[in-house]
Amino acid sequence: MTRLNGTFLTCKANERLSIFGDSQNLLLLYQKLLQDIMKKRIFKVAFFSISILFISCSLIEKYQGTDKKFETEVSKLEAQREFEEKKDYILFVGSSSIRRWDKLAENMQPYDVVKRGYGGAHFYDLIHFTERLVAPHKNAKAMVCFVANDITGNDNDLDPREVKNLFKLVTRQVHSLFPMLPIFFIEITPTPKRWQVWDQTSTANDLIQNFTNKTQNIHFISTRDQFIGKNRLPVSEYFVKDSLHLSQKGYDKWSEIIKSKLDYTLN
């Protein structure tokens, strides 16, 4: 295993070869074949690793400066030390729906929790704060992430594939710190206020889910079936007056869904 600029890279090759028969020439032939296979695998892994590093650096560079708006709020989160006496807790990281969850500890019982949310968070600014928000939490049992502001119906909305790529970068950053930490992504929940861009949002969700399905220690928490009613619109009672943020009923439903996924995956 090799660490390269915050990205953990792994190469495995089969080093054992069983030969039936006593032909020395056959043994030499198979050994050469194995060496060639290993070289090709190493080349492929190296090429793939360099590609990952290039993409990661490109995204960091592309969104340079997007962190400045949130520096003060993130610095305040860094100063909080309530987690130091905790063990095996769930770390919640994300945007205002995490920050505004006043009854998080109560709703998530029996799980212990730590909350690190800042209002207005996007994936393109979170990539600058991941290490600062996650690195202190070596005693976390898992991380739950929710970020919902990259597609809002504005001219500067991100393409769904860009949202997925940024999410992938966040997961790489987390796993460069704690390779075995389970990461749970709460899908971008449908809201009345942003219903006009639900098609784009659901596409981003689907792309992220496809990625989580193929990646170890990364899990997808689906909420759409619970938050879209029989009228095929978001359930209004799950939101406060701004039609964007969750009401307590919405948080109750969220916690039910999240705990069910945690129970299934962690226990």
Same domain (yes/no): 52, 142: no
What percent of the chain clears pLDDT 70, i.e. is strictly above it? 79
Instruction: Look at residue 49 in the predicted model and tell me its pLDDT.
Output: 41
Q: Residue 50 pLDDT more than 90?
A: no
Q: Euclidean distance between the first and final Cα of the chain, in Å?
A: 28
Same structural domain for residues 124 and 45? no
Domain that holds residue 155: 68-266
| Domains in the chain, number | 2
Instruction: Tell me, yes or no, whether 72 and 53 share the same domain.
Output: no
Residues 128 and 237 in one domain: yes
Give the strand pairing for 7-9 and 2-4: antiparallel
Confidence check: pLDDT of 1 > 90: no
One domain for residues 48 and 177 = no
Of the listed ranges 8-22, 43-57, 115-129, the least confidently predicted one is 8-22
230 with 179, same domain: the answer is yes
Q: State pLDDT tens for residues 204-252.
A: 999 999 999 999 999 999 999 999 999 999 999 999 999 999 999 999 9
Using the predicted structure, report yes or no on whether residue 42 has a pLDDT greater than 80. Answer: no
For tokens 């590093």, what's the residue? 53
CATH number at residue 153: 3.40.50.1110
- pLDDT tens, residue by residue, 69-80: 999 999 999 999
Please state, for a pLDDT cut of 90, what percent of the chain lies above it: 76
Distance CA 220, CA 214 (A): 11
Is-contact 263 219, C-beta < 8 A? no
Q: How far apart are CA 82 and CA 72, in angstroms?
A: 19
Residue where a domain stops, chosen among 10, 45, 62: 62
pLDDT band at residue 58 using 50, 70 and 90 as cut-offs: confident
Q: What element of type H or E holds 93? A: strand 89-94
Final residue belonging to a domain, choices 62, 86, 114: 62
Q: Which of 131, 123, 173, 114 is nearest to 151 (CA)?
A: 123
23 and 145 fall within a common domain = no
Could you tell me if 109 and 23 lie in one domain? no
